[in-house]
Structure 1
Amino acid sequence: KLIDKPLMRNVLADLAIESEAATTLALRLAAAYDDGGERERALLRLAVPAAKYWVTKRCAPVAVEAAECLGGNGYVEESGLPRLVRESPLNSIWEGAGNVQALDVLRALAREPLAMDAYLTEVGLARGADHRLDAAIRGLLTELADLEAAEGRARRLVERLALVLQGSLLVRYAPPEVADAFCASRLGGDGGAAFGTLPPTLDLASVVKRARPVA
């Protein structure tokens, strides 16, 4: 089967990691909204625009890669995927495009100190569990220490905020093979710009198995 071929398994595992990271982040923010406490509201103030920026940016390439995995079957309308591909850029345009979300994060950092404190407390819960996550947190702290003229690097900063938060959540809640693959490729630099470039030493078969629909 094609799904059992090493190269296809790498692509599918990469897509599965992206999907699980986005889903876990959304569920954490939903829990914060349901809680409604002051610290959770502060976390939302920073994490919601960061999450909207990053997850919607990743939506279109995920949809296109998923269609490519199905080949011609993913291109014909009967599969349903062409509609998803067409709609995938929508959320990054509606209700605030990428730059709007990035600037909103900068406003939160500048005007609401509790938001940064709540974010750092949240990601700090996973500290010590993965050396790549720890290094990413240290790098993020360096960037956050100097917000002068931050607008020109706002997208870079918001991307890092989202990735570090996703990584911390996966380390805490996902199976080790999923967290390991995410931290290696998204935080540790051991992955390429395209999907399907995960390090072959990872347990990709387990990642794909976890993502397969239950029959």
Structure 2
Amino acid sequence: MVAATRLDCAVGSAALMRQAVAQAVHHATHRSAFGGPLVDKPLMRNVLADMALESEAATTTAMRLAAAYDADTEQERAFRRLGVAVTKYWVTKRCPVIAAEALECLGGNGYVEESGMPRLFRESPLNSVWEGSGNVQALDVLRVLQREPQALNAFLVEIGRARGADHRLDAAVKDLLGELGDLEGIEARARRIVERMALVLQGSLLVRFAPPAVADAFAASRLGPDWGTTFGTLPPTLDLASLVTRARPTEH
């Protein structure tokens, strides 16, 4: 039940991220400035695409873990033993960053209570502390790695399903295996290891299930070296417009 509740936290954060991105994309689509819609401005498009990519990766991973509960086979139970802790750690950590950036996309309106964004921003840190803080999740992952080899094997089988599909993903998996093979000072590196596990898992899922533009953008930024430290730093050679369009709310 504890693991299921932790997954609830990850799903909740993924949903909040999706709502925040949808609000930002909607505003940028209908807000004109500097001679045209904000969504058409290259810099804003990059910010929106970067946030949309983060949101899609979080949602895809949360849904994959939910499917592991539905299947409930021995292999899926072993996979989710690691997958839930890794995903709960990473997705809930990314949620407040997304909420803050999305709020900023609305400018001063985003700071006004009536916009709804302040509520999202206030809620965004909750799931990272509920059912175990970041350190608790990271230490739980280490415990599993040291005591439950079947869980690590199931996790590696899952990410291995995308083997050979993207050279950046393959390189990231190789680096992760190197980290996991070095036990010296592993507790001090726990967050680093869990972060890499989360990114590799998300990359594997997107390579398999997302459109090529999404998978390419994720691999280039999260798994490759071409990404900054804030949203809006995706390589400009990517198909940013399709990422934004994919995140745009459907209007009826």
TM-score of Structure 1 vs Structure 2, range by shorter chain: over 0.9
CA deviations 1:28-57 (Å, max 9, x no partner) are 000001110011000111010110100011
| SS class of match (1:196) | coil
Q: What is the alpha-carbon root mean square deviation over aligned residues?
A: 0.7
Q: For residues 172 and 144 of structure 1, what CA distance do their matches in structure 2 show?
A: 24
Which sections of structure 2, spanning at least 5 residues, go unmatched? 1-36
Q: CA deviation at 1:97?
A: 0.3
| SS class of match (2:233) | coil
Q: For residues 147 and 74 of structure 1, what CA distance do their matches in structure 2 show?
A: 45
Q: CA deviation at 1:146?
A: 2.0
Query: Which residue matches 1:173?
Result: 209
Which sections of structure 1, spanning at least 5 residues, go unmatched? none
Query: Which residue matches 1:115?
Result: 151
Q: For residues 166 and 214 of structure 1, what CA distance do their matches in structure 2 show?
A: 25
Query: Which residue matches 2:176?
Result: 140
Q: For residues 165 and 220 of structure 2, what CA distance do their matches in structure 1 show?
A: 13
| SS class of match (1:152) | coil
Query: Which residue matches 2:188?
Result: 152
Q: CA deviation at 1:27?
A: 0.2
Q: For residues 5 and 149 of structure 1, what CA distance do their matches in structure 2 show?
A: 46
Query: Which residue matches 1:207?
Result: 243
| SS class of match (1:151) | coil
Q: For residues 123 and 225 of structure 2, what CA distance do their matches in structure 1 show?
A: 30
Q: CA deviation at 1:149?
A: 2.7
The count of aligned residue pairs is 215
| SS class of match (1:127) | coil
Query: Which residue matches 2:87?
Result: 51
Q: CA deviation at 1:131?
A: 0.8
TM-score by length of 2: 0.84
Q: Which runs of 4+ in 1 moved over 3 A?
A: none
Seq. identity, %? 74
- For 2:94, give the aligned amino acid: R
Q: For residues 204 and 183 of structure 2, what CA distance do their matches in structure 1 show?
A: 23
| SS class of match (2:188) | helix
Query: Which residue matches 1:94?
Result: 130
Query: Which residue matches 2:64?
Result: 28
Query: Which residue matches 1:193?
Result: 229
| SS class of match (2:189) | helix
Query: Which residue matches 1:67?
Result: 103
TM-score by length of 1: 0.99
- For 2:149, give the aligned amino acid: P
- For 2:225, give the aligned amino acid: G
Q: For residues 119 and 125 of structure 1, what CA distance do their matches in structure 2 show?
A: 10
